[in-house]
Amino acid sequence: MRTLRMFNSISLDGYFTDADGDYMWAHEGSTDPDLMEFIKGNAQGVNALIFGRLTYELMAAWWPTAEAAKAMPDVARGMNAAPKYVFSRSLDSAEWSNTTLLSEDPATAIARLKQTPGPDMTVLGSGTIVSQLAEARLIDEVQLLLCPVVLGSGKSHFAEVTGKPWWRLSRCLTFKNGRVFFAYHRAD
């Protein structure tokens, strides 16, 4: 069975966007060389990437560009080569290389995909998708990059999740710029 992970940056108070939907705070001060090596290493892995429409449109507008290839060549190469799935009921097509457009319910589609052969899957950003998949208990690993900023309010990945699922810490890395990476596996 394929493993499903989620990865996103969060604030100290647990939000992945601020109250206005902005996430740019997650990129401020992120030039730590160790963090950049970590990001580069993550991009080298073979994973299918999962997106909601908004995250997909942001990623598809950046990673295939010459600027992305110049700024982060290894990450751009990995992002562009990876198989990708985008959940949307409003997109008519998904032009970014290796992308499959899905209009069905994310929990149903991911449960089906987990049973098929292929690489493990990682949801990047896509808070609404993460919430639905977490509620359906389909996420095997939660990966969070904690940024040392307090937003005061915003959107949480898990605001709609019921039943108080528990997770077990499996990895933790601390970076000089104050960011901390945590990986948790499902404990149930």
CATH code of the domain containing 21: 3.40.430.10
Q: What is the pLDDT of residue 159?
A: 85
Q: Please list, in sequence order, all residues whose beta carbon lies within 8 angstroms of the beta carbon of residue 65, skipping any fewer than 6 positions away.
A: none
Domain count, the chain: 1
What gap in Å lies between CA 143 and CA 121, rounded to an integer?
13
Break the chain down into helix, strand, coil percent, rounded to 5: 30, 30, 40
Domain that holds residue 96: 4-186
Q: What is the pLDDT of residue 182?
A: 95
Q: What is the pLDDT of residue 57?
A: 94
Q: What is the pLDDT of residue 35?
A: 83
Q: Please list, in sequence order, all residues whose beta carbon lies within 8 angstroms of the beta carbon of residue 15, skipping any fewer than 6 positions away.
A: 151, 153, 154, 155, 156
Q: Along the 188 residues of the chain, how does pLDDT read in single tens digits? A: 899 999 999 999 999 999 998 888 888 876 788 888 887 777 666 789 999 999 999 999 999 999 999 988 988 999 999 999 999 999 999 999 999 999 999 999 999 999 999 999 999 988 889 999 999 999 999 999 999 999 999 999 888 899 888 999 999 999 998 999 999 999 87
41 contacts 113 by C-beta, under 8 angstroms: no
Q: What is the pLDDT of residue 188?
A: 77
What gap in Å lies between CA 82 and CA 188, rounded to an integer?
30
The maximal CA–CA distance of the chain, rounded, in angstroms, is 45
Q: What is the pLDDT of residue 128?
A: 87
What gap in Å lies between CA 50 and CA 37, rounded to an integer?
23
